[in-house]
């Protein structure tokens, strides 16, 4: 269950509150003049919230993209490019951020798959561990 603490009080007992947040996973709502201003949560929870938020944005983007594809199937790429060019700069930046996020996710997935494959090959004895020096010595043989 979350707790609430005034910013002035929090300064006096910050270490105890931080320990409670990190060790007991108790979120704290920090208030100023009885108005919520911030939240202290464990870092893992913060990362999960960011990931969930990103996932939700990407899910909604995919839905919008699907609807756009359905509605614009008859338009040429040139007509679509003209519409994007006519969008506000902020909207264009949002599209760029979404595309970059997708690219990062795809690179992470590809890297994870490559690591999994390397681990499988190592477990099967198809590859061996070694240093660059080991490899150079083997090549020299």
Q: pLDDT tens digits, residue range 5-48? A: 666 677 788 888 888 889 999 888 888 888 888 888 888 888 88
pLDDT for the residue numbered 7: 64
Domain-located, residue 136: no
Enclosing H/E stretch for 30:
strand 28-32
Average pLDDT along the chain: 82
Exposed, middle or buried by CB within 10 Å (0-12, 13-18, 19+), for 58? middle
Residue 64: inside a domain: no
What token pair was written down for 59? 């899910």
Claim: this prediction has a pTM higher than 0.85: no
Domain that holds residue 113: 87-126
Residue 112 counted as domain residue: yes
């Amino acid at each position: 269950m979350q707790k609430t603490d005034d910013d002035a009080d929090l300064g006096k007992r910050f270490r105890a509150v931080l320990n409670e947040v990190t060790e007991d996973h108790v979120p704290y709502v920090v208030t100023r003049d009885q108005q919520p201003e911030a939240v202290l949560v464990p870092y893992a929870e913060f990362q999960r919230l960011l990931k969930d938020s990103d996932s939700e944005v990407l899910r909604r983007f995919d839905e919008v993209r699907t609807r756009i594809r359905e509605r614009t199937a008859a338009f040429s790429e040139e007509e679509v490019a003209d519409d994007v060019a006519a969008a506000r700069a902020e909207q264009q930046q949002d599209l760029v951020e979404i595309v970059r996020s997708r690219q990062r996710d795809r690179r992470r997935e590809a890297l994870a798959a490559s690591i999994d494959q390397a681990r499988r090959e190592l477990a099967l004895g198809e590859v061996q561990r070694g240093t660059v020096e080991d490899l150079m010595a083997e090549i020299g043989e």
